[in-house]
């Protein structure tokens, strides 16, 4: 029996995700302090009943964090940034432990004039989770999902042994591992490619269109005229806000002249996202500037853990191929209208992120695995994860988005999935790490 030094709780406590929509009662909850702690837990099936499932900040909206009767392992205390180095291909990389929060990593890199291209607004997501899970961001000069920058990692396998994967010697194994949701092993350390930091110029605009087809045409025009696009759409009245992003030259921090506007925008974003774009958030919304030059890393926020009485973000994620934009908007508009008429409910907004897909060998499974092209996400957002009308909307919309519109879903970011909606290759999953939630998706 190896010693375990971290926090260990086995008295039947209940743990919940950020949005308080999923709870779990593991037999044992652990917070390892070292790699050896992680190894000790995985190797000892008697003290630490299986499955052993890793979590970070538990921000995920789905039952990915649920592990009743097993061992829930929170990685947040393994959060050191170990330094910069060159990988075997000569690239500059940062070595970072799996429990490090993204905002902490952004700040560390900013102070050295560097960045990772994935700069979604979520600062509390942990490196280990996003290295093997699903993410989306309208990034500049990069695909737009975190694991695209992972060039190596260390993980604990099902026997409790430490294993290393790096792109130069194990490119296929590494690519597959980054699609494994923690089912192939527990990530303890990542090597993430970095680059000199660049500033972003955002051009903000809004529009109201008569039809979903015209809204799609508007989105296409804006997308073609910038380096990347982010948009928020209301299907109730076909209004939209757009953020066209352009490269704005080297720079790691927001220029002094932009700081007041940038900070006002950051606080406004934080409030809106924290509250899931609820009426409370909309009331406080100030007009955005026409244009702003800033560091995207400065716009990454952290969010407080809400209680069940507060409005709080909830969402569904669907990835679509860009050529299908008109159909996705048109049919989602018709669906939302019908749902509103029948149930008196529609989501607050829909968010679009644009992601460049790589060749299949780099992203063999799951999101973005369709081969080179552009994807967009079309994600409905609401402010109460446990509202039964929202839950019904999300379930019903899964049918349309996945089975009729051909969207890909995520076991981490799309709720109410069934085994007909998503398949995960069995060869990625080890029984020691496979919770019942994931077992339902295994393909054989």
Binding site for ligand FAD (CB under 6 A): 18, 54-60, 64-65, 75, 98, 120-122, 125-126, 128-130, 132-133, 135-137, 181-182, 186-187, 273, 303, 313, 412-413
Pick between residue 126 and residue 332 the one whose CB is nearest to ligand FAD.
Answer: 126
Contact by Cβ (8 Å): 289, 329: no
* Residue 425 phi, psi (nearest 5): -60, 130
115 versus 121: smaller Cβ distance to ligand FAD: 121
Q: How far is the CB of 98 from ligand FAD (least distance, A)?
A: 4
How does DSSP classify residue 157?
Answer: -
CB count in 10 Å sphere of residue 208? 12
Comparison of 121 and 421: residue with beta carbon closer to ligand FAD:
121
Tell which residue, 414, 408, 337, has the closest CA to residue 370: 408
Smaller CB distance to ligand FAD: residue 333 or 378?
378
Nearest-approach distance from CB 57 to ligand FAD, in angstroms = 3
Q: Rounded CA gap, 207 and 201, in Å? A: 20
The minimum distance between CB 108 and ligand FAD, in angstroms, equals 17
Give the helix ranges, DSSP H, for 156-205. Answer: 171-177
143: left (phi over 0), alpha (psi -120 to 50) or beta: alpha
Determine how β-strand 71-74 pairs with β-strand 28-31.
parallel
CB of 168 to ligand FAD, least distance (A): 22
Nearest approach in angstroms of CB 259 to ligand FAD is 23
Edge to edge, the sheet with strand 7-9 lists 7-9, 28-31, 71-74, 52-55
* 19 versus 212: smaller Cβ distance to ligand FAD: 19
CB 109 → ligand FAD: shortest distance, Å?
18
441 token code pair: 């998706």
Nearer to ligand FAD, 190 or 193 (CB): 190
- DSSP letter at 169 equals T
């Amino acid at each position: 029996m190896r010693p375990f030094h971290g926090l260990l709780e086995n008295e039947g406590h209940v743990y919940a995700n950020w949005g308080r929509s999923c709870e779990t009662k593991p037999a044992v909850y652990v917070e390892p302090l070292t790699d050896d702690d992680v190894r000790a837990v995985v190797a000892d099936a008697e003290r630490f009943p299986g499955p052993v499932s890793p979590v970070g900040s538990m921000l995920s909206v789905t039952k990915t964090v649920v592990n009743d009767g097993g061992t829930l392992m929170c990685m947040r205390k393994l959060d050191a940034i170990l330094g910069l180095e060159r990988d075997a291909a000569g690239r500059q990389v940062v070595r970072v432990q799996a429990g490090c929060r993204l905002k902490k990593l952004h700040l560390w890199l900013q102070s050295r004039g560097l960045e990772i291209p994935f700069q979604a607004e979520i600062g509390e997501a942990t490196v280990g989770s996003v290295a093997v899970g699903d993410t989306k961001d309208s990034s500049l000069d990069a695909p737009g999902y975190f694991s695209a920058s992972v060039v190596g990692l260390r993980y604990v396998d099902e026997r409790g042994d430490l294993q290393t994967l790096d792109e130069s010697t194990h490119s296929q194994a590494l690519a597959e591992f980054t699609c494994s949701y923690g089912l192939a092993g527990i990530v303890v350390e990542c090597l993430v490619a970095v680059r000199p930091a660049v500033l972003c110029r955002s051009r903000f605009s809004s529009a109201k269109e008569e039809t979903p087809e015209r809204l799609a045409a508007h989105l296409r025009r804006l997308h073609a005229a910038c380096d990347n696009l982010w948009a928020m759409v209301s299907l109730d009245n076909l209004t939209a806000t757009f953020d066209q992003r352009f490269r704005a030259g080297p720079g790691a921090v927001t220029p002094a002249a932009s700081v007041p506007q940038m900070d006002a925008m950051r606080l406004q974003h934080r409030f809106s996202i924290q509250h899931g774009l609820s009426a409370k958030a909309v009331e406080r919304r100030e007009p955005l500037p026409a244009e702003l030059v800033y560091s995207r890393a400065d716009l990454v926020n952290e969010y407080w853990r809400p209680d069940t009485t507060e409005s709080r973000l909830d969402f569904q994620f669907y990835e679509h191929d860009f050529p299908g934009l008109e159909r996705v908007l048109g049919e989602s508009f018709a669906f939302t209208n019908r749902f509103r008429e029948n149930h008196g409910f529609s989501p607050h907004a829909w968010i679009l992120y644009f992601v460049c897909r790589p060749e299949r060998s780099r992203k063999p499974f799951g999101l973005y695995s369709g081969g080179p092209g552009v994807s967009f996400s079309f994600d409905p957002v609401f402010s109460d994860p446990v509202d039964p009308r929202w839950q019904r909307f999300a379930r019903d919309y899964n049918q349309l988005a996945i089975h009729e519109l051909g969207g890909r879903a995520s076991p981490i970011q799309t709720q109410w999935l069934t085994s007909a909606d998503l398949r995960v290759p069995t060869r990625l999953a080890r029984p020691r790490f496979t919770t019942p939630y994931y077992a339902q998706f295994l393909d054989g």
